[in-house]
A = this chain, B = another copy of it.
Amino acid sequence: MNASTAMKVGPELSSVFDHIAKNNDKFVSRLLDYLRHPSISAQNVGMGEVVELLVSMLRKLGLEASAIPTAGYPVVMGRWERAPGAPTVLLYGHYDVQPPDPLEAWISPPFEPVIREERVYARGAGDNKGQHFAQILALESHLAVHGCLPCNVIILLEGEEEIGSPHIAEFVDAHRDLLKADLVVTADGPLHESGRPIITYGVRGIVAFELRARAARSDVHSGNFGGLAPNPVWTLVHLLATMKNTEGNITIDGFYDDVGAPTELERTAAARLPLTAEDIQRALGLAKLDNPTDLPLADRLMFRPTLTINGLHGGYGGPGSKTIVPHEAFAKCDARLVERQDPEDILRKIEAHVKNHAPDVEFIRIESTPPSKTRLDAPFSKAIQSALQIAHGVEPLIYPSLGATLPDYVFTKILGTPSFVVPYANADEANHAPNENIKICCFLNGVRTGAALLDALGGSPR
C-alpha cells in the first residue's frame, strides 16, 4: 500500500460521504453554535450548561444518553448498541476547555467563534470540541442515511481533561460494566505538520517531583560562612549529578529495570516516521541534540524514559554579584516513563536514591500518570488504518508511542481495551494558546474519518 493509493469506498460509506458533503455549511455553522458555550473546568464556567447541551444532542440522535456524576464534573455518556455481532467502539473526548487567558492576545473573543481564512477560531475549536463534535456528526450522518450504525458505539466525554483528569481512573474503574468495548478511539491532538493523518498506539507516562534543600535560617555572607554553612544549591547540584550522567544515562538504581525493547513492528513503524535530528534542531534553534546521541531518535522519543530538570532555583538571581550562601533551593523534575515502568515503583526508586545520597533533601511527589501501550497488531488496527486512508487519501503515519502524556492508561491498563488516538486538528491549532482554531477542512475531514471508521469497524470481525 503506497501513501498515494486511494482505497475503494463501498456504496454504504459513499452515500454517507455524500450526505456529509451536502451538509458541510450546516455542520460548520453547528460547530460555531457549540463553541459559543464556554466550559472552563479550571474556572467552573459553563460546565453544567454544556453537559445538558451534550446529553440532549446525543438523545436527539437516538442514543441513550446521560450525565454520570463523579467527585468532580460529570461524565457525559451516550450509547447506541443495536448492531449485534458487530464490534463496540468507545469514543473518548472531553467537553472542558482551557482558560482563554491572556484575553488581550485573541484577535476575536474566545467564545464568539468566527471564520477567518478557512479556519474556525474559538477556545475549544481544536481541543477538543471540534474533534468530538466531528465524531458525533459522523454518527448522525450514518443514522441520517441508513437509520443505523455499522457497529456499536459508546461515547464518553470527560469534563476534567484540562485539569489533569483527576477522576477519570476512578470513574472507569467504577463503571467497567458501562464501558465494555472492543476498542477505544480518541480524536484529540494534531495531525502531522505535513497534514498527514496519524495513529498513535501509546503514550509515555510521567512522574513529577520536587527536591527541596534547606540549611541556615537565612542567606549568610559567603566570606564569613562560605564552606562552613551548608549550601543547598551545592547539595542539589551534587544530588542531581548522581541521578543522570553526562552521557544522558539515568543513574538511579533500577530505573531501567522494566524498560523493554520495542517490538519488531514498532521499530519498523518508528523507522518510517519523518523524524530527523536536523528538523528538530532547526525547529528549536539547536546546534546539536542532547546525549545519548547513539540511540535512534525514535527510541529516545518513544521507547526510552527521560529525566528532566524542569527548573532549579536558589539564591541570588539579580544583576551583578551578591556574595551569599543561599539558605534554600529547590528543583522541579519530571521523568517520562515507558510501557511496563510503574510510576509508583519509579517514585519509590527516586526517593530511595535521594534518601541515600542527600538524606536532608525533601522529596515531594507532584503527579504521576502510568504509560499506555497498544500493540501495533492489536485487533482493529488495520480497520483504523484503512479508514484513515479512505478519508484522507493518504496512508497514515504510525506512531508506536507519543512523547507527551494522556490518560490513555485508564483504557489499556484498567479496562484492558486497545486504545488508538486519531487526531483530526491541524498542527497549528494553537491549543492551550490564544487564537485556538481548527481548519474547516480538518473538521470536515474529521467527520468523514469518523464515518469511515464506523464503516470499517462494521466490516471487521469481533
- Interface residues of chain A, those whose CB is within 8 Å of chain B, are 204, 206, 208, 210, 215-217, 220-231, 233-234, 236-238, 240-241, 244-246, 248, 280, 284-290, 292, 297, 300-301, 304, 306-317, 320-326, 329-332, 334, 336, 360, 366-367, 402-405
Contact = CB atoms under 8 A, between A and B. Distances in A.
A404 B221 contact: yes
A215 B281 CA distance: 10
Contacts of A336: 222-223, 226-227
Contact of A316 (B216, B234, B248, B332): B332
Contacts of A402: 223
Contacts of A367: 321
A361 to B, nearest CB: 13
Contact of A229 (B215, B289, B404): B289
A222 B301 CA distance: 10
A41 to B, nearest CB: 16
B311 A316 contact: yes
Nearest to A406: B223
Contacts of A311: 233, 314-317, 322, 324, 326
A216 B286 contact: yes
Binding site of A, secondary structure by majority: helix, strand, loop or mixed? mixed
A372 to B, nearest CB: 13
A381 to B, nearest CB: 24
B403 A309 contact: no
Contact of A227 (B206, B228, B288, B300): B300
Given A290-B228, A310-B323, A223 B206 contact: yes
A299 to B, nearest CB: 10
Nearest to A233: B309
B227 A308 contact: yes
A323 B310 CA distance: 6
A222 B322 contact: no
A304 B227 CA distance: 9
The CB with the most chain B CB atoms within 10 A, among A220, A241, A321, A325, is that of: A321
B334 A222 contact: yes
A288 B360 CA distance: 11
A456 B41 CA distance: 81
Given A323-B208, A324-B310, A284 B332 contact: no
A317 B315 CA distance: 13
A149 B447 CA distance: 102
A280 B228 contact: yes
Contacts of A404: 221, 223-224
23 contacts: A206-B223, A216-B285, A217-B285, A223-B404, A224-B403, A224-B404, A228-B280, A228-B300, A229-B286, A230-B289, A230-B290, A233-B311, A233-B331, A237-B309, A238-B246, A310-B316, A310-B323, A310-B324, A311-B315, A311-B316, A312-B314, A313-B317, A320-B366
